[in-house]
């Protein structure tokens, strides 16, 4: 009974969610588009001419938003390159290069290289989240693993001044993830967009500017409620 009540509450909240209604009105596949939109408007992440990779891109709302930001090229199309990677299938998006598969595998990376043609990436996006088991330590480890994969991908493909934006959760190994970000990026901030539900521990981390690997591990700094800038 309790589970049914929770499901009914979720359905009620979802149907009446203003961002769900707005996503339907504006043609986005998911309300998540507005999380990226707010972060982008605050941080000026997406600019014409960029190479952008969206990890775990399905169902595609982040790709839709990024595509709209890069649209306007004379004669149609976009000014830039958009690539999405996911193990799940995704319905096509105009001007969006979708590669289905595990981005740790050589075959998938070869397809990526064929699209970028030697260019380094300006922005890596990751809205990836693990399938939750309900076991806290196990879920935290899975979340941290996904972040590790996004960081490793960025180390291999980002421009030195590029940026990585990832989703994580305050109750899933967050402090350890922050330390990893601080070790790899010159600037690290956290973002909680309005489209992220208040009840959710969801938080986004943005790292900008890869550090020189010889810089070593960044020293731990106190966390605050508003985000950080070193």
Confidence category of residue 222, pLDDT binned at 50, 70, 90: very low
State yes or no: pLDDT of 1 exceeds 70. no
| Cα of 220 vs its chain's centroid, Å | 24
218 or 132: whose pLDDT is higher?
A: 132
pLDDT of the residue at 49: 95
pLDDT of the residue at 136: 85
Surface-to-core class of residue 216, CB atoms within 10 Å of its CB (0-12 exposed, 13-18 middle, 19+ buried):
exposed
Q: Mark the binding-site residues for S-adenosyl-L-methionine, compressed into ranges.
A: 60, 62, 86, 102, 127
Residue 180, φ and ψ in degrees, nearest 5: -65, -40
State yes or no: pLDDT of 115 exceeds 60. yes
State yes or no: pLDDT of 218 exceeds 70. no
The answer to whether the beta carbons of residues 150 and 167 sit under 8 Å apart is no
pLDDT in tens, 14-44: 567 899 999 999 999 999 999 999 999 999 9
pLDDT in tens, 147-186: 999 999 999 999 999 999 999 999 899 999 999 999 999 9
pLDDT of the residue at 133: 82
pTM listed for this prediction: 0.85
User: For residues 67 and 69, what is the distance between their CA atoms, to the nearest angstrom?
Assistant: 5
5 is catalytic: no
Mean pLDDT of the chain: 87
CB atoms within 10 A of CB 197: 13
Angle at CA of residue 63, ends 59 and 67, nearest 5°: 145
pLDDT in tens, 189-200: 999 999 998 888
State yes or no: pLDDT of 80 exceeds 80. yes
Residues in the chain: 230
Confidence category of residue 225, pLDDT binned at 50, 70, 90: very low
Q: Does an H or E element contain 169, and which?
A: strand 158-169
226 or 113: whose pLDDT is higher?
A: 113
pLDDT in tens, 123-136: 999 999 888 788 88
Share of the chain above pLDDT 70, in %: 85
- Poorest-pLDDT segment among 44-53, 109-118, 122-131, 204-213: 204-213
The whole-number average pLDDT for the span 81-103 is 96
Out of 35, 37, 69, 167, the active site residue is: 167
Joined together, the tokens standing for residue 59 give: 């169902």
| Cα of 151 vs its chain's centroid, Å | 11
Residue ranges and CATH numbers for the domains of the chain are 31-215 (3.40.50.150)
């Amino acid at each position: 009974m309790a589970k049914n009540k929770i499901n009914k509450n979720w359905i009620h909240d979802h149907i009446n969610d203003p961002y769900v209604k707005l996503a339907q009105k504006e043609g986005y596949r998911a309300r998540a588009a507005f999380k990226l939109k707010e972060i982008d408007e605050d941080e000026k992440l997406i600019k014409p001419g960029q190479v952008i990779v969206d990890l775990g891109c399905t169902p595609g709302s982040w790709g839709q938003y990024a595509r709209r930001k890069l649209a306007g090229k004379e004669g149609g199309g976009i000014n830039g390159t958009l690539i999405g990677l996911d193990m799940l299938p995704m319905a096509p998006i105009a001007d969006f290069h979708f590669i289905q598969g595990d981005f740790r595998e050589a075959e998938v990376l070869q397809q990526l290289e064929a699209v970028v043609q030697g260019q380094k990436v300006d922005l890596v996006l990751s809205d990836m989240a693990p399938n939750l088991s309900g076991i806290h330590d196990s879920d935290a480890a899975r979340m941290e693993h996904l972040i590790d994969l996004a960081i490793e991908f960025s180390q291999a493909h980002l421009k030195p001044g590029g940026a990585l934006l990832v989703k994580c959760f305050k109750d899933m190994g967050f402090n350890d993830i922050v330390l990893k970000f601080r070790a790899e990026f010159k600037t690290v901030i956290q973002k909680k967009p309005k489209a992220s539900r208040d009840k959710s521990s969801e938080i986004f981390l943005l790292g900008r500017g890869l550090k020189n690997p010889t810089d070593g591990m960044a020293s731990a700094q106190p966390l605050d409620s508003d985000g950080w800038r070193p």
